[in-house]
Amino acid sequence: MQHIAKKNYRSKGFTLIELIMAIAMSVIVMLGVGIALVDSHRGWQRTYDRSYCDVMTDGYVARRMFDATVREASSEVCLLDVAGRWIEVYLYANDSSTEVDRYARFYYQPAGENEAKGYLNLQYGNWNPDSPYPRDVVGTQRVCSNVSFCVFRKAGYSVSMILTLDNGSQNVVVTSSSVMHSQ
Amino acid sequence: MTRKTKKRRFRRGFTLVEIPYAILILLIAIIGTSKYRYYTTLDVKKADMQTTATRIGLLFCENWRGVKGSLTYDPTVCLGSEFASTPISCPSSFKEFNLLQGRTVVSNGTNYHVFLLFKDISSSLRALNIIVAWSPQGYQITTITDTTDSNKFRSFELTTYATH
């Protein structure tokens, strides 16, 4: 009887040494798995940020908008700021327009006292060169924020934009050049 | 008594064969995951390089075309000093095209070599050919013929036409 009781006692549960060893092994395994998971998540986040972070998507939008507008613009005339801070292109409203009757101005609004960030804006509207106020502003659109540098250049019929976006943690340089096609 | 002791020893813990098997399976899973992550990162980097090369090629192409494929085209003047590119020496012709100039543009630590080539189709029509080459492994291009080595270099080619 005494022998049976001893046997039951020994077969139940774990000893203190076994428990400590098991905990130590579990901790090592969990640490390894945790480090692998954290590293994996960081890698995924880095990959995701390279494609979808705010400065990347803003840069993509700015490039697309600039390209689409300039490609529709008339190659006859184009106004460019001496310092390259803004550029104004002229467009035809539709196929029946014989003269340019729309304008679009991209301009860089640097960070200042009132604004913590720099912006790239697009002002657009009707254009009537015979009027004393040729520009009838229809709207102004903010193309992208976090702009730390922007310059426009013109070479023949092509217009280029060099844009630097910086959100504090990531820095993206966007370059675009488009030919003004309409005549 | 002997039989009971044997039974108890058999039921406790794992055998020496089970543990290596478990470790082996775990290692295969970890190595498989690491390989997947490695190739994912590598593919993203390759795609990023391809996209950058395409944009650089398009930038030069549109800019050069804007000045009607002029043979005096200078990217430093037309794109401004803000867009940094350094000239590289190259021969006067490559394949069926005349070679105007070669430039190196650095983006995200990768060197992209841009070659501007042209061919006069007629007295007023000129074909403009842009080749952008880069090396994912970091090899340096010494001449334009290096771009044909697909083991070391990747390249992107773009052709457009300009009236002059």
pLDDT in tens, A141-165: 999 999 999 999 999 999 999 999 9
Q: How far is A50 from chain B (nearest CA, A)?
A: 9
Instruction: Work out how many domains chain B is built from and give that number.
Output: 1
Domain assignment present for residue B130? The answer is: yes
User: Does B59 sit within 8 Å of A177, measured CB to CB?
Assistant: yes
Are the C-beta atoms of A146 and A165 separated by less than 8 Å?
yes
Domain assignment present for residue B76? The answer is: yes
Rounded CA-CA distance A101/A92 in Å is 6
Domain assignment present for residue B19? The answer is: no
% of chain B residues with pLDDT over 90: 37
pTM: 0.77
Give the chain B residue whose CA is nearest to the CA of A51: B48
First and final C-alpha spacing in chain B:
106
**pLDDT value for B3:** 53
- What backbone phi and psi angles, to 5 degrees, belong to A153? -135, 155
Domain of residue B88: give its range: 34-163
Domain assignment present for residue B21? The answer is: no
**pLDDT value for B145:** 82
Domain assignment present for residue B1? The answer is: no
Domain assignment present for residue B3? The answer is: no
Strand locations in chain A, DSSP E?
78-80, 86-91, 102-109, 119-127, 135-144, 147-155, 158-166, 171-179
Amino acid identity of residue A86, one-letter, is W
Query: ipTM of this predicted complex?
Result: 0.72
Rounded CA-CA distance B148/B154 in Å is 9
pLDDT in tens, B74-121: 988 888 888 888 888 777 788 889 999 999 999 888 999 999 999 999
**pLDDT of A6 strictly over 60:** no
Domain assignment present for residue B121? The answer is: yes
pLDDT in tens, A72-91: 999 888 999 999 999 999 99
B126-140 average pLDDT score: 91
Rounded CA-CA distance B132/B104 in Å is 9
Domain assignment present for residue B27? The answer is: no
**pLDDT value for A94:** 85
Confidence at A139, pLDDT banded by 50, 70, 90: very high
pLDDT in tens, A7-26: 555 566 778 888 888 888 88
Nearest by CB to A162, from B48, B67, B80: name it.
B80
Per-residue b/e over B136-145, b at no fewer than 16 CB within 10 Å? eeeeebeebe
Q: Which residues of B touch A (CB under 8 A)?
A: 4, 8, 30, 33, 37, 40-41, 44, 48, 55-56, 58-60, 62-63, 65-68, 70, 77-80, 82-83, 107
**pLDDT value for B7:** 52
Domain boundaries along the sequence of chain A:
2-51, 54-179
User: Does A7 sit within 8 Å of B62, measured CB to CB?
Assistant: no
Count CB-CB contacts under 10 A for residue A128: 15
- Provide, as residue numbers in chain A, all residues whose Cβ is less than 8 Å from the Cβ of B68: 156-157
Give the chain B residue whose CA is nearest to the CA of A18: B13
User: Does B77 sit within 8 Å of A47, measured CB to CB?
Assistant: no
